[in-house]
Amino acid sequence: MEEKNFKLIISFLGKDFYGWQKQKNKKTIQEEIESACKKIFNKEIKIIGCGRTDSKASGINYIANLKVKTNLNSLNIKNGLNSYLPNSIYIKDVKEVEKDFHSRYSAKRKTYRYIISLKKTPFLTDLAYFIKDKIDIEKMKKASLLFIGKHDFKSFQSSGSNVKNTIREIYKITIKKKKFFIDEDVELIIIDIEGSGFLYKMVRNIIGTLIYVGKGKIGLEEVYKIIESKNRKLAPPPVPAKGLYFKNAKY
């Protein structure tokens, strides 16, 4: 029987999990899916994810892959996994791909989304970050342009990472306002950040800085100085993980 490589597109609600990556004595997305795989294939299967996610962060189109010798097809695997997984995790698609496809190392770009609620609502508890202060979205848009391109993002890497190369490239940041479809009295700010890759809590730290600009706490010149300083202590605090979503990856 020949080994096959399957690409998975996964959506998950992260509020009850300690992120994607398997950890001892902690509930994670990877562990849940590997447990479901064991029931389907009757053996241990390692799921390769496209990257770590923060505790409580969610996924819209998170990419993973698994290699296994099986006669099951993509639809069999998708249906089988979804039958064992909790409601907070859903396999959107399974597709057989080339043997050398690697969900992490083959990725060219990744996009994260962050959702801010400008009015309190029970419908977005644990799903968005509520800000009661007035916020200037146009100032945020201007500040976001300073992050575009290849930079040393050391000022935006939180402690707890051993990564030494802190140079990353941001391709695009979009910031827009939208009405919340359930309650149109609630206005949302949706921020998408697309980059070559991200340091530990980098997205949350960048958005924390953009919010400080939007609130008028710091100006564009200060943002520029924070980036150039490569000093985490000079940057504003990160936003909570509950508003963070892994949106997609491009290959």
Whichever domain contains 72, its CATH number is 3.30.70.580
What's the Cα-to-Cα distance from 3 to each of 68, 105, 215, rounded to whole Å? 5, 20, 54
CATH code, domain carrying 147: 3.30.70.660
Q: What is the CA radius of gyration of the chain?
A: 19
Burial (CB < 10 A; 0-12, 13-18, 19+), residue 100, is exposed
Residues 71 and 192 placed together within one structural domain of the fold: no
103 in any annotated domain: no
Q: Are residues 113 and 234 in the same domain?
A: yes
Give pLDDT, residue 60: 98
- Please give the Cα distance from 90 to 20 (Å, whole number): 14
Residue 102 in any domain: the answer is: no
Q: How many domains, in total, are found in the chain?
A: 2
**Which of the residues are catalytic?**
54
Assess whether 91 and 166 both reside in one domain.
Answer: no
Are residues 119 and 28 part of one domain? no
Residue 239 forms part of a structural domain:
yes
pLDDT per residue over 148-188, tens digit each? 999 999 999 998 788 889 999 999 999 999 999 999 999 99
Which DSSP category does 236 fall into? Answer: P
What residues make up the domain containing 164? Answer: 109-250
Q: Are residues 138 and 190 in the same domain?
A: yes
Which residues are paired to 4 by β-bridges? Answer: 68
Same-domain status, 114 and 232:
yes
Q: Are residues 149 and 231 in the same domain?
A: yes
- Which of the listed residues 75, 97, 119 is the one where a domain comes to its end? 97
User: Which DSSP string corresponds to 13-44?
Assistant: -GGGSS-SS-BTTB--HHHHHHHHHHHHHSS-
Is there a domain that residue 72 lies in?
yes
Residue 175 lies in a domain: yes
State whether 91 and 182 are in the same domain.
no
Tell me the C-alpha to C-alpha distance, in Å, between residue 179 and each of 49, 94, 187, 190: 33, 33, 5, 10
| pTM, to two decimals | 0.94
Domain shared by 59 and 182, yes or no: no
What's the confidence (pLDDT) of residue 44? 95
Do 153 and 55 have their domain in common?
no
Of 66, 97, 128, the domain-final residue? 97
Residues 114-155 have pLDDT tens digits of 999 999 999 999 999 999 989 999 999 999 999 999 999 999
- Among 55, 70, 97, the domain boundary falls at 97
- Percentage above 70 pLDDT, the chain: 100
Residue 149 shares a structural domain with residue 211: yes
- 171 and 71 within one domain: no
